[in-house]
Amino acid sequence: MIAIRGAISVDHNTREDILSSAKQMLKEIIKINRMEIRQIISVIFSVTNDLNQAYPAAAARELGITEAGLMCQQEMYVESGLPKCLRVMVLAETGDEQSSARHIYMKEAARLRPEFARFFAVAVDGPAGVGKGTLAQNLARALRFIYVDTGAMYRAAAYFCLKKDVPLTDAEQVENALANMCLSIENQNNIQRILLDGVDVTDELRTPEVSDASSKVAVIQAVRDKLLILQRKTAEGNNIVMEGRDIGSRVLPDAQIKIYLDADIDERAGRRLKDRDDMGISSDFAEIRRELEERDRRDIQRAHSPLKRAADAVLIDSTHMSPLQVMEAAMCIIYEKTGGLYGIRYSQNIGGDNIPPQIPH
């Protein structure tokens, strides 16, 4: 006999929402635990005291769970507890060990037990040139999550406007132009490709001209709203590492892991200079530093979703850290936040030349 726990938040205190949430959770528990309805011995539901429009047991019966003992009760009231929460305990005779039970925490309730959420999101935010891309790609590779670079979406919008000679400071003209932009994302071997009208433009998006233009279009609310939909859609139903400026604070406020990566401006300018050298673009340190300062100013001061550290984001100041050290620090944060399901446990031995392990999931 195994005991399986589940929880889900219910949007509204209505009969319809309570029953549909209960069904959604039970179906998921049955599917993920590969169980048959006849194996279920009992189902005990609890609801917070703000849900009183239906007995969730009715949902179980509607799913065909008619032989099992069903019971509904009120969850003990805790002042700081998650409101409108429906919890369940399923006992089933599956012949499996208890250690194989897969507990399911869905929607807002995923916050209660991040390690049992169906999908994990790692949000990596921070200013320009801080190494978000390197960290996010390394994490995605090690965790086998999907990598999403939201900056590239703003770059694509800017590139589209530049090609069409749309003045970047005219919000209305930019909005009208982008109504005809067909932007899609493809993931090839965990490398994100950006397609505009079906044409892969990824390699055109990292020039200084596009960088500057991207932080100009990013201040326009209509641009942000349009890209927000695409960003959330990409995250849906996937384990992802998403990097940007407002991922933890706006795009994925429920992300289980939020990292805010920062570094001193001189250090960032030095890194950007090296990147440009590697790309064969000759640049000047002072000029890059000015460019970064200007982009930081626009990103931090804009009215809509400015760059800021989410209250629950963990700060990594990478000024004096190598990419590998940043990666290790992030993997330790992920280990803590996922209850050891992903990431690496902190050890005195990490650092130096240690390569973080590939986590099999």
Spot the catalytic one: 15, 34, 38, 61. 61
- 15 a catalytic residue: no
Check residue 87 for interaction with ligand DC (CB under 6 A): no
Contact (Cβ atoms closer than 8 angstroms) between residue 128 and residue 296: yes
Q: With residue 229 as reference, give the H or E element that holds it.
A: helix 221-235
Check residue 107 for interaction with ligand DC (CB under 6 A): no
- Least Å distance between CB 193 and ligand DC? 15
Task: Report the SS3 class of residue 58.
Answer: helix
Assigned token pair, 102: 């897969």
Of the two residues 26 and 218, which places its CB atom closer to ligand DC in the complex? 218
Assigned token pair, 178: 């982008």
Q: Which one of residues 84, 87, 226, 245 is an interface residue with ligand DC (CB under 6 A)?
A: 245
Of the two residues 1 and 315, which places its CB atom closer to ligand DC in the complex? 315
- Least Å distance between CB 218 and ligand DC? 4
Contact (Cβ atoms closer than 8 angstroms) between residue 322 and residue 314: no
Check residue 24 for interaction with ligand DC (CB under 6 A): no
Q: Give the side-chain half-sphere CA count within 13 A for 28.
A: 21
Check residue 299 for interaction with ligand DC (CB under 6 A): yes
- 245 a catalytic residue: no
Of the two residues 155 and 337, which places its CB atom closer to ligand DC in the complex? 155
Best CA proximity match to 261, nearest among 182, 329, 161, 202: 329
Positions of E strands within 238-334: 240-244, 257-262, 314-317
The stretch near ligand DC (CB under 6 A) out of 38-46, 164-172, 243-251, 284-292 is: 243-251
Could you give the string, one character per residue 158-187, with x where binding to ligand DC holds by CB under 6 A and - elsewhere?
Answer: ------------------------------
- Least Å distance between CB 22 and ligand DC? 35
Give the angle 311-233-18 at the CA atoms, nearest 5°: 80
- 294 a catalytic residue: no
Give the angle 115-118-124 at the CA atoms, nearest 5°: 70
Check residue 267 for interaction with ligand DC (CB under 6 A): no
State in Å, rounded, how far the first CA of the chain is from the last one.
Answer: 26
Please state whether beta strands 69-74 and 183-188 pair in parallel, antiparallel, or not at all (unpaired). unpaired
Check residue 150 for interaction with ligand DC (CB under 6 A): yes
Assigned token pair, 326: 């940043």
- 87 a catalytic residue: yes
- 268 a catalytic residue: no
Check residue 202 for interaction with ligand DC (CB under 6 A): no
- 271 a catalytic residue: no
Residue type, 71: M
Of the two residues 56 and 151, which places its CB atom closer to ligand DC in the complex? 151
- Give phi and psi for 125, each to the nearest 5: -115, 160
Spot the catalytic one: 28, 108, 111, 113. 113
- 75 a catalytic residue: yes
Spot the catalytic one: 55, 85, 105, 245. 105
Cα four-point dihedral sign 36, 37, 40, 46: positive
Active site positions, annotated? 5, 61, 72, 75, 87, 105, 113
Q: Can you give the binding site for ligand DC, defined by CB under 6 A?
A: 128, 150-152, 154-155, 214-215, 218, 244-247, 295, 299
